[in-house]
Chain A
């Protein structure tokens, strides 16, 4: 049981990060129906900027928490500038183009950002400075570190803040109006371009924070780290129903937990020797506590995506998605 609980704790941490990144995908999609494939790269740039800042300040004798927060505080504006430039230069000119054009552009932007980062931060796997003293707490047999607690707490806070922003402020109302119908929103006096740019900025700020979290959690950062993370977060957004903000949160957390449980149990589930009927046929390999594992834990991504496919087969618009009609 403590193993199960530990896997859930691992999954929740991972899922919280996915959720934060997925929000960036889903908000942009909700408002301009663009899948911004470069969003994962914004996360990476956030991690890299924070890494550089933390390295600079490491010897300044400041408290570790202040140093990490400064790193995040520097990463946020940089990511916002990147995202604004991306929207202004790459997406806005294509606002009226067929939907495939901005999609391809997004992939292009992603490749450009990745290689720019490679030029700046080298192609090596960089060590994200581990300056926060690791404290380990044991709760009901499961281990949770102070970093994990911080990640979970800040993700919940960020999601709450975002929900407040979207559902309780004038800006949020404008965003939702633009998402529903940009032309009509324009007639009501909403500057659609400004709202869209603001959406990118909010997504970028969340991405920057996610980048710092991922770096602190795993202790590594590399210029390629954004692509797989972006893909997972995008899947989380689709799982929850893309365009739907609570859906992205739910999808992220769910994907994280499914992935952790999948990695933890897929080996046992597909170990043919644990099924008496089959182990009889392949007797020799199972003799003396042997194993015949079909899918090991390296298939954890497959497991996660299989769940995604299953959900989409049963609910094509995602768990919380609506409005199927006007989507491709």
Chain B
């Protein structure tokens, strides 16, 4: 009995609000909008974005979502025409809690909501199972941060990624470590997730190939905060370097406890622990750590993106926002080129796309991986990670050289 009444009153309230909104703000151009509205047919396009918005890496998830949201808002403001219709994009932002089980549920939810494309997910462990669901539904998905090679090795033609792969990132940080710090013994630890383990495997492989002794793999979980037992064991084998494949929430305690135990080594991490948060969590202990990020640092993204992000969210992008921004724009651009938001029709356009995004030119290879993806090496200096080198197609150059190569404009 109560519900209908409540519904009506809500409707009334909503109507009143929207009327009020029109009256107040759009005074100068009511005639124009009224004249245009009936003439141009419009099309509603839903784009999904998935990342963990709760849990230990919620800050990274929100950053990813912000990137996608910025792209969608800009596309709406630009009044893009798709197949002769004025496109209005809507972002369906979902939380997968970094949990593979939740990820598949959320993926199904987006498929049921008939999204035209998906920007996500954040973690490799969630993206891989979700990709199968998007594949069945024929919905294109572009991830801006899942770096596990397996994702694009499944042979799905709807799966793309705009960042580098772990098998590029792993060798890059490992060869940098081998070349600059020349360790004799390296301990490799991972957090037993698809991401951490994949990255650690690649690092171990490259180090072994360079003739460096790699200790038996130690593992934690993605919730481990007590690394003392593992580090104590490792300390007995006196490694010159420690590599950890995992996120900052667990990597911070790891480096802090390692230094406490007197395990003096070079600490190296993958992109998940390549954030300023490491210094916050580990304090002085994080100083001098090395880490890598697939792609280029957020601060090397295009100026226009950085300014727009700062203006909209009043903060700087943390990690992958430029990539999820590009991913959303790629979906929109492919739809525009194909003149359709129908996945079957714009998917071929996505395969052939050549697009200048916030992270540089983007083209895909046959598997859906980005061609010539860069990997950047960082070091912690005074509590902030600072880029020190860029590895691109097997070649290492210092960060300054790289910026010069990009024309110094960025």
| Residues of chain A contacted by B54 (CB below 8 angstroms) | 118, 123
Query: Are A7 and B55 touching (Cβ within 8 A)?
Result: no
Checking B192, B213, B228, B283 against A10 with a beta-carbon cut-off of 8 angstroms, the contacting residue is: B228
| Residues of chain B contacted by A143 (CB below 8 angstroms) | 260-262
| Residues of chain B contacted by A243 (CB below 8 angstroms) | none
| Residues of chain A contacted by B218 (CB below 8 angstroms) | 267, 296-297
Query: Are B281 and A127 touching (Cβ within 8 A)?
Result: yes
Query: Are A218 and B192 touching (Cβ within 8 A)?
Result: no
| Residues of chain A contacted by B221 (CB below 8 angstroms) | 298
Cα distance A3–B261 in the bound complex, in angstroms = 11
A134 interface residue per 8 A CB criterion: yes
A87 interface residue per 8 A CB criterion: no
State the interface size on chain B (CB cutoff 8 A): 39
Query: Are A220 and B252 touching (Cβ within 8 A)?
Result: yes
A6 interface residue per 8 A CB criterion: yes
Shortest CB distance A125–B (Å): 4
Q: Which residue of A lies closest to B237 (CB)?
A: A3
Please, what's the 1-or-0 string for A92-118, where 1 marks a CB less than 8 Å from any CB in chain B?
Answer: 000000000000000000000000001
Checking B56, B220, B260, B280 against A127 with a beta-carbon cut-off of 8 angstroms, the contacting residue is: B280
B229 interface residue per 8 A CB criterion: yes
| Residues of chain B contacted by A219 (CB below 8 angstroms) | 252-253, 256, 281-283
B13 interface residue per 8 A CB criterion: no
Query: Are B229 and A220 touching (Cβ within 8 A)?
Result: no
A293 interface residue per 8 A CB criterion: yes
Among A124, A228, A259, A262, residue most surrounded by chain B Cβ atoms (within 10 Å)? A124
B85 interface residue per 8 A CB criterion: no
Q: Which residue of A lies closest to B232 (CB)?
A: A6
Cα distance A124–B60 in the bound complex, in angstroms = 10
Query: Are B225 and A218 touching (Cβ within 8 A)?
Result: yes
Cα distance A7–B213 in the bound complex, in angstroms = 24
Query: Are B281 and A145 touching (Cβ within 8 A)?
Result: no
Q: Which residue of A lies closest to B280 (CB)?
A: A127
| B interface residues (Cβ-Cβ under 8 A, vs A) | 54-56, 58-59, 191-192, 213, 216-221, 223-226, 228-230, 232-233, 235-236, 248-249, 252-253, 256-257, 260-262, 277, 280-283
Pairs A–B under 8 Å by Cβ, sample size 15: A3-B233, A6-B261, A10-B228, A10-B229, A124-B58, A125-B248, A130-B283, A136-B262, A218-B225, A219-B253, A222-B56, A260-B229, A264-B229, A296-B217, A298-B192
- Other than A219-B256, A265-B233, give 8 A-B pairs with Cβ distance below 8 A: A3-B232, A6-B261, A10-B229, A127-B280, A145-B260, A222-B56, A267-B218, A297-B220
Q: Across chains A and B, which 5 residue pairs bring their CB atoms closest together, nearest first?
A: A263-B229, A298-B219, A296-B219, A291-B216, A10-B228
